[in-house]
């Protein structure tokens, strides 16, 4: 179990580093676009595309980090209104459902990635292969699946404890 938890910690650190790099690239790209467009009257052709692709990657990687930090938005009115045992069961079922849905979407994101139209297409502005953009789905969903799996293990291991670690 310690290996799985260590893997989760490593994945979390890597995800945060990737997010920091992507946010920096996004900020620099937008700054350069504004500077070149409004101060030099010569807009860049690639900056909007770079910013868009960074935002897509930030969304998928950020979802994994947000789930791990328990920062995902949720409505817990019903969960807090039931007794502790039912609450633990609801949290377990909820996390298991999210895990199954994430695996399902992960499988179809790989199918989408492997389509010939995706593999051989390039972006218009910077000529980047589009499979790099579409790779954010499998990478982010795989990371999120690992984090949910670790959370499920923690829920089961801490089942009899007074405070359930979500």
| Domain boundaries defined on the chain | 2-157
| pLDDT tier at 165, thresholds 50, 70, 90 | very low
Residue 21 CB neighbour total at 10 angstroms:
12
Who contacts 94 (Cβ-Cβ below 8 Å, separation ≥6)? Answer: 79
The H or E element spanning position 121 is: none
Report d(CA 79, CA 86) in Å as an integer. 8
Strand partners, 122: 129
For 6-69, strand residue ranges (E) read none
Per-residue pLDDT reduced to its tens digit, 31-76? 999 999 998 988 888 889 999 999 999 999 999 898 888 777 667 7
Per-residue pLDDT reduced to its tens digit, 88-147? 888 888 889 999 999 999 999 999 999 888 888 888 888 889 999 999 999 999 999 999
Report d(CA 10, CA 36) in Å as an integer. 39
Per-residue pLDDT reduced to its tens digit, 143-156? 999 999 998 988 88
Burial class (CB in 10 A: 0-12, 13-18, 19+), 165: exposed
Strand partners, 90: none
CB 61 within 8 A of CB 139: yes
């Amino acid at each position: 179990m310690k290996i799985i938890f260590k893997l989760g910690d490593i994945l979390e650190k890597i995800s945060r580093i990737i997010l920091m790099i992507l946010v920096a690239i996004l900020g620099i790209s937008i700054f350069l676009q504004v500077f070149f467009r409004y101060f030099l009257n010569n807009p860049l052709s690639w900056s909007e595309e770079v910013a868009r692709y960074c935002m897509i990657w930030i969304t998928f990687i950020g979802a994994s980090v947000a789930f791990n930090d328990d920062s995902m938005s949720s409505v817990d009115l019903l969960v807090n209104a039931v007794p502790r045992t039912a609450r633990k069961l609801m949290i377990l079922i909820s996390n298991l459902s999210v895990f199954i849905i994430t695996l399902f979407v992960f499988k179809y994101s790989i199918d989408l990635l492997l389509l010939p139209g995706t593999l051989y297409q390039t972006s218009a502005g910077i000529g980047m292969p589009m499979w790099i953009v579409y790779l954010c789905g499998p990478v982010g969903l795989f990371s999120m699946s690992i984090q949910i799996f670790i959370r499920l293990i923690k829920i089961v291991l801490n089942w009899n404890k007074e405070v359930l670690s979500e």
